[in-house]
Amino acid sequence: MTLYAGVLWNLSSCDALKMPIIQDALAVLTNSVIIPHSSWDSSPGHHDDRKLHLHTSQVLRNATGCLRNVSSAGEEARRRMRECDGLTDALLYVIQISLGSSEIDSKTVENCVCILRNLSYRLAAETSHGQQGGLEELDGLLCDANGCEGESSGCWGKKKKKKKGVDQWDGVSPFPDTAEPPKGVQMLWHPTIVKPYLTLLSECSNPDTLEGAAGALQNLAAGSWKWSVYIRAAVRKEKGLPILVELLRIDNDKVVCAVATALRNMALDIRNKELIEQQGIPSPKLNTPSYYGLADTQQQIKG
């Protein structure tokens, strides 16, 4: 299986083969390699006994390298991977159990982070959860989160009261709609994903992993989707803004670019903008025009 996964990793560097690999091999790689070798399954009580075996698995490294490549194949590829049962859960679990260990800089963790970064690209536009939100609802949510008053001017200069609903949020109290633990694709945008990304950014020394984690936050914080509002607030609550600001000083242009654009998206939140200004951020000499981070298209060919 290790050899087969390695061959697929090499083949996945060819653009013409990415979708065929997703169509024919995604489910097999997920169910036969990613889930069992990540030590994640649907029974949390079994996790601890298998932590030590995680990063000794060459087949997991090869399989995640393959999926990293194919995750850059476009919207249909991202859709299929998001809908693949257990894939997101297992990838995130690999990251979580690597935190605080010597494996945090490993190639396997790098691959997992970059896959999640790609799958977080344009989430609101490409998922049914994002498409269900109306503009009026999101406008009200954004206004509340950014400290606006409960009323706003209408088209003819009159005051129009915003609806008081379960999705409105003041930016300080607990997040709405988070009573049940997230699972599957929900984990991609749930505010709980912020903490492992920030831990990677503060503890990891692998520049590709740093770029991937910053890129994921950049993607998640973009736009006016309600979960983007929550993500921006979650980064503030987890004291992630100073972590991002400090990374602007790192001697790696790709990391700095991803971090700078993530901060640009974080600043859509008025409270974040004020805090970022207080940090006294350096001025990186980089152009960061992208609202969303482009999907990672770097080819990771197994040697």
Per-residue confidence at 293, pLDDT binned at 50, 70, 90?
low
Q: For residues 156-169, give the mean pLDDT.
A: 44
pLDDT, position 14: 95
**pLDDT the model gives residue 212:** 97
Distance between CA 82 and CA 127 in Å, rounded? 9
Write the pLDDT tens digit of every residue in 42-85.
555 444 444 545 555 899 999 999 999 999 999 999 999 999 99
Report the alpha-carbon distance of residue 131 to residue 69 in Å, rounded. Answer: 27
* pLDDT digits 0-9 by tens, 205-237: 999 999 999 999 999 999 989 899 999 999 999
Q: Does the structure show a pLDDT above 90 at 102?
A: no
Task: Tell me the three state secondary structure of residue 296.
Answer: coil
Contacts of residues 92-98 at CB distance under 8 Å and 24 or more positions apart, as own/partner, are 92/116, 92/187, 92/193, 92/196, 93/38, 93/39, 93/40, 93/47, 94/38, 94/40, 94/54, 94/60, 94/64, 95/196, 95/200, 96/196, 97/39, 97/47, 97/51, 97/54, 98/54, 98/55
Q: Report the pLDDT value the prediction gives residue 179, as an integer from 0 to 100.
A: 56
- Band (163; pLDDT cuts 50, 70, 90): very low
**Better-predicted residue by pLDDT, 40 or 94:** 94
